Amino acid sequence: MRNRVLSSALLMALAIGVSHAQGAWQPLPDSAPAPADNPTTAAKVELGKMLYFDPRLSSTGTVSCFSCHNVMEGGDDHMTTSAGVHGLKGGRNAPTVWNAAFHSVQFWDGRAPSLEEQAKGPPVNPIEMGMANLDAVIDRVRHIPGYRPHFEKAFGAGEVVTMDNAAKAIAAYERTLITPGSPYDRHAKGDKNALGGQQARGMETFAAVGCTSCHQGPAFNGPALPAGTGFFMKFPSYPDSPYVAKYRLADDPGRFSATHDEADRGMWRVPTLLNLEYTAPYMHNGAVKTLPEAVRVMASTQLNRTVTDAEVADIVAFLGALTGPFPQQTMPRLPPTPGDLLE
């Protein structure tokens, strides 16, 4: 089933209804929502972390979730597009995994309605992790005896080493990868000294220029929507902008590649703006290298505006205030590898 999607007109109405000019700046919650069928538990998080870091889930035994989404830094890989098995390069920039739990749909084109479904995508992508199918992925996990006790601790006794449970565990771990407590969050909670002068001025500029028409809510990725309902916007909205040709922003059809619906051509899930200073390069194709340039590109292509150097500097300062403290990460100890695992 296709993810639910709201019309651009309705989304814009929602954006206006959540106007930051009216004081509706919202802090990031201290915990991420979890679906009823996958409550977050310590045992699931521990197992999910192991699977997230384990390259044995790839056909070559060399690529893991961590390979493209480095949680020791910005949750991405700083490549224009990521390298998968055999050095193959993907077509889109790896989005950060930090705060992905606050997206209502996953991937740039929103093709996965949940973190659980997203976790099943890369292992069977021929460029990313290269496994033949999901059965091959979980068979690989079953072939590592040390994993069974961890699955049973997380899901109980019985035939619990399943792909669905593996995906649930990875999703549970990813829901711990959130960064509340940024200067902006503290400001939104009432600490009027949390932002510096330029950051506060940049927040006003951010709203005045029109950035909040798309980037709103606690994660600056759109209004709160039911899980599986994507918040998508046309990009680029102004194809005559000189940045469109310069950075080849219209070459990828966006959500159309997942749905093959002409109405979805050029539509993209609105990404979070949290921790942007950690996630260069920018845009779905990784073509824009710096944050000031990304601000200029977005103002031109989405708002048909040319921003001044002073406005850019102020907005960049505000975006820096969206970086929150990262929870400490430690490398997991993985179960030992049977000698015939990759034969």
The CATH number given to whatever domain includes residue 216 is: 1.10.760.10
Bridge partners of 5, per DSSP, are 230
Both 298 and 263 in one domain: the answer is yes
Segment 312-333 mean pLDDT: 97
Both 243 and 200 in one domain: the answer is yes
The answer as to whether 338 is a domain residue is no
Both 119 and 251 in one domain: the answer is no
By CB neighbour count within 10 A (0-12 exposed, 13-18 middle, 19+ buried), where does 262 fall? exposed
Name the domain boundary from 115, 148, 174.
174
- Alpha helix stretches (DSSP H) within the chain: 8-17, 42-53, 65-68, 115-119, 121-124, 134-142, 148-155, 163-174, 183-188, 197-209, 242-246, 256-259, 291-303, 309-320
The rounded distance, in Å, linking the Cα atoms of 103 and 91 is 21
Domains in the chain, number: 2
The answer as to whether 341 is a domain residue is no
The answer as to whether 303 is a domain residue is yes
- Residue 23 pLDDT > 50: no
User: In this structure, what is the dihedral angle of CA atoms 249, 250, 256, 260, given to the nearest 10 degrees?
Assistant: -150
Both 286 and 225 in one domain: the answer is yes
Bridge partners of 89, per DSSP, are 83
pLDDT band at 74 (very low <50, low <70, confident <90, very high): very high
pLDDT band at 227 (very low <50, low <70, confident <90, very high): confident
The rounded distance, in Å, linking the Cα atoms of 340 and 325 is 42
- Residue 208 pLDDT > 80: yes
User: In this structure, what is the dihedral angle of CA atoms 16, 19, 25, 26, given to the nearest 10 degrees?
Assistant: -30
> How does 276-301 read in b/e, with b if 16+ C-beta sit within 10 Å?
bebbbbbbbbbbbeebebbbbbbbbb
Q: Which domain holds residue 153?
A: 42-174
**Any idea which residue has 């601000």 for tokens?**
295
Q: Which residues are catalytic?
A: 128
The answer as to whether 240 is a domain residue is yes
Flag the least confident range among 106-110, 139-143, 326-330, 339-343. 339-343
pLDDT at residue number 67: 97
The answer as to whether 336 is a domain residue is no
Both 240 and 305 in one domain: the answer is yes
Check: CB of residue 282 under 8 Å from CB of residue 291. Answer: yes
**Phi/psi zone of residue 67: left (φ > 0), alpha (ψ -120 to 50 degrees), beta?**
alpha
Segment 232-255 mean pLDDT: 98
The answer as to whether 329 is a domain residue is no
Name the domain boundary from 110, 143, 174.
174
Both 147 and 89 in one domain: the answer is yes
Q: Which of 233, 209, 217 is nearest to 316 (CA)?
A: 209
Name the domain boundary from 125, 145, 174.
174
pLDDT band at 3 (very low <50, low <70, confident <90, very high): low
The rounded distance, in Å, linking the Cα atoms of 232 and 214 is 9
The answer as to whether 343 is a domain residue is no
The percent of residues above 70 in pLDDT, for the chain, comes to 93
